[in-house]
Structures are given as C-alpha cells and as structure tokens.
Amino acid sequence: MKEIIRQIQAAVEIDPERSRIRLAGHEVAYHCEKFSTRIIRGLEDVLGVEEANALIQQAASESLYQPLTELSQAETNWANLTRSERLALIFEVFKILGYGAVTIAEANGNRTKVTSSNSYLAEGFFENAEQWRWSKRSAPFCHDMCGYLRAAFAVSDGVPLDRVTVKETTCRTMGAELCTFEVEVAQ
Amino acid sequence: MSIDHNAVREAFLSMGLYGDPENGLIRRFGVLLYIAPVDYWVARELDFISKMGASARKLSENVLIDAAHWCAYGTFGGIMASAEWAAMIAPHIQTVHDKLSGLVAVTNCLGWGHISDFQLDEQNQTLELTVEHSYYVGYWLDKYGKSERPICYMWTGVAAGYMDLLFGNKVHEFAAEEVECAAVTGGTRCRFRAERLKKKFAL
Ligand SMILES: [Zn+2]
Ligand SMILES: [Zn+2]
C-alpha cells in the first residue's frame, strides 16, 4: 500500500503551456476552502439543501469513480484484500487529496457507518464562520464527501455507483462532534 | 516580468502539496487546499447552470461568479500574507504590476488553465486577462456543445478579486466580465475585463 501511495504522490505533473495538472494520469486542480464553502452555500440557497447535495454528490462520485477504479487495478493484491483493507487504501488517497481523515466506525452487512473528525468542508466552514458570520447549520454540509464515499464503496465492492447511497446524518457544522455518513450498498 | 514563473512552478511542485498523513488536510499558503478531478470542479458549476435553465441563468451565474470573487479575494489575500509568498515572490516585487505577476504565477500552478497575458492599466484601474485552456471549456463542449454565452465563472470572479486586492480596500469594489470565451468561439482563448464597479454604472 505504501508503494502505491508513493507512486501517486510522485505522479503530479504541471503542463506549463496549459497550466493544467495531471495526477496519476487524471486532470486535477487545487481549490481552497473559501471557494468550495461559498459555492456550495450558493447552490444550497438556490436549489435547497437536498437538491444541492444530490447535484454535488453526483459530480463528486462520478469524478472519482474512474480514478479509484484504476487504483484498484494498479494494486496487484486488490483481489486478496478485504473490504476494509480496500477502503483503508482509498481513505489514504483521500488524505493525499486533502479531504481529511475518515474511518469506518461500524460495519453491519451492507450498511456501514463512516465518521470523520475533520472532513474537508466542515473544516472549511469553521475556518470562515467567524469572518463571514456563519452560524451553526441546521443541515449537514459535507456533500462532496458523500459523493467521494459513494465512489469509494462502489469501487471497493465492485458495483456501479447507483447501487450505493450515502447520507450524512450528523455534521460538525451542526454542532456534532463528528460527521457521520451512513453508507448502504444495495444487494 | 521580474517574477520568474518557471521558478515559482518548480517551487510549487517541490513543496509536495498533499494532505498531512495524519489528518489528511493541506494547510498551506494560509488556506486549506484540496485536490479534486477537474470534472468535479466543473461539473458542479456547469450542471447547476444547466439545471437552472435559461430563465434563471443570470441568477445562477452570479452565484458562481460571486463565490469565486470572494474566494479570490480571501485566498490570494491569504497567499500574499503567507510565508511561502514572503520567501518565493515578495523579494521580487517592486511595482503593482509585479505583484499581479506573482499572483498570476501562483494561479498558473493550480490547474485551472493558463493566464497567458494580462494588461494592467494602473491609471484607470482596469485589467484585461487572457486565459488559455480554461478548465471549464472542454467539459462544456463535450457535454453541451458550443455555448451561446461565456461560461468561465470562476475566472470572472478571479479577475475582479485580483483588482480588489491590488487597488481596493475590500471585496466587490471591482467587477469583471468575460468578453470572449472559448466555449463560444470553439478556440482555446478566454478574455476577461475588470474595472471599478462604480464606473460601470456611470456610463
Ligand atoms: Zn459534515
Ligand atoms: Zn471562457
């Protein structure tokens, strides 16, 4: 696993003519928390929280599905890994990408509870809450993490994205200690 | 330009801008960065625009431009106050033009497309920014075909945010618009023009 993480980290290239970045063969870009928190709040204002979550979750899950599938193909031992080992590898990739740390808190058949004490968007919310006068939220905020987890479970279980549902049930931006994501993979 | 853009890019690459192995966060340049596939950044904006339809287009465009404007002001303000900026770029800055050149050098490391030229008129406080290969364009053309309107919302906000930082005291003293977009022309070039907001209404 360490080897594959090292390979990913070594695989960043900037094309100086186009100023576009490739990471392990996929075009990626950096953004900061100010941009994402603002955009996502803007989408929520216009669409409502649920629809914004659906749109962001869809975009996030689709964007990571292929790169994570390739990761699973590059890991020679993938077929022998348990589900939690596969997810642990994917969660290490999440850390490389700056999404914060996530862990499996509970696994029960096709339902899994994933938690994070520093999911990216929640961190971004707190980073700016005082300056931008954001008060405690009444709905979860980590819509992109829902999508990334959806891609992670689809790849770890070898199923299409539409078989996986993810719902954030507690969020630090609402005052919870941890963000909790309930993941279900349909049989 | 007295800022060496190649040196900035090399320095940026050598920084190893990845998440901390423990907490998985990239706290650099005074902000929290994160890396995502271009398809994610672009899909969440362009699918939003498409979903809102023509009747709400102006409103949805403003949501996206405004977010980017705030972001550019906050983020590049953070970057200019960071230790990385002080070490790499500040020693080479003598003029406002140099400062913008430093911002452009950093922006060109983020994967959004390439700022190939900028014309800064300090007297009239206007900026013209040329971006090649804006990251929005390929996605839009692939999914929706040629556009009737410019679509590079983030860049529009960035052009205005730069000017707020260079000449203003707060965000929203300047506004920008995209005056040429590759999603409309089918080429590779987008151009943006920023000016003081009050001048816009004093025509
Ligand atoms: Zn959360
Ligand atoms: Zn454009």
Of A14, A59, A94, Cβ closest to residue B43: A59
Residue B158's closest CA among B74, B85, B41? B74
Question: Are the C-beta atoms of residues A145 and A99 closer than 8 Å to each other?
Answer: yes
The reply to whether A50 touches chain B by the CB within 8 Å rule is: no
Between B170 and A12, where is the model more confident? B170
Residue indicated by tokens 């040196």: B7
| Per-residue model confidence as pLDDT tens digits over A54-79 | 999 999 999 999 999 999 998 889 99
Residue B17 has pLDDT above 90, yes or no: no
Residue B138 has pLDDT above 60, yes or no: yes
Residue in A with minimal Cα distance to B131: A18
Please provide the average confidence, as pLDDT, over all residues in chain A.
93
| Per-residue model confidence as pLDDT tens digits over A19-48 | 898 888 899 999 999 999 999 999 999 999
- Domains of chain A from N-terminus onward: 2-185 (3.30.1380.20)
At residue B199, the pLDDT reads 53
| Per-residue model confidence as pLDDT tens digits over A76-87 | 899 999 999 999
Strand arrangement, sheet containing B126-132: B114-121, B126-132, B189-196, B174-180
A5, A9, A20, best to mutate vs chain B, most B CBs in 10 Å: A20
The reply to whether B56 touches chain A by the CB within 8 Å rule is: yes
In DSSP terms, A122 is beta-bridged to none
Residue A6 has pLDDT above 80, yes or no: no
Report residue A1's pLDDT band, with 50, 70 and 90 as the boundaries: low
Beta strands in A99-159 (DSSP E): 102-108, 111-116
Among the listed ranges A169-178, B1-10, B151-160, which one has the minimum average pLDDT value? B1-10
The reply to whether A95 touches chain B by the CB within 8 Å rule is: yes
Residue B123 has pLDDT above 90, yes or no: yes
Q: What pTM did the predictor assign?
A: 0.93
At residue B18, the pLDDT reads 83
Residue A46, amino acid? V
Q: Give the C-alpha separation, A17 to B116, whole Å.
A: 9
CA distances from B169 to A164, B97, B161, B203 (A): 48, 18, 11, 23
Contact criterion met (CB < 8 Å) for A39 and B110: no
B 107-126: CB under 8 A from A: 107-115
Of B20, B24, B114, Cβ closest to residue A18: B114
- Closest ligand to the CA of B190: 2
Residue indicated by tokens 């050598």: B14
What is the ipTM, given to two decimal places? 0.93
Question: Are the C-beta atoms of residues A68 and A158 closer than 8 Å to each other?
Answer: no
Residue A166 has pLDDT above 50, yes or no: yes
**Angular region, B189: left φ>0, alpha ψ -120 to 50, beta rest:** beta
Which CATH architecture group holds B5-196?
2-Layer Sandwich (3.30)
Neighbours of B112 (CB within 10 A): 26
Question: Are the C-beta atoms of residues A43 and A84 closer than 8 Å to each other?
Answer: no
The reply to whether A72 touches chain B by the CB within 8 Å rule is: no
Of B24, B47, B114, Cβ closest to residue A59: B47
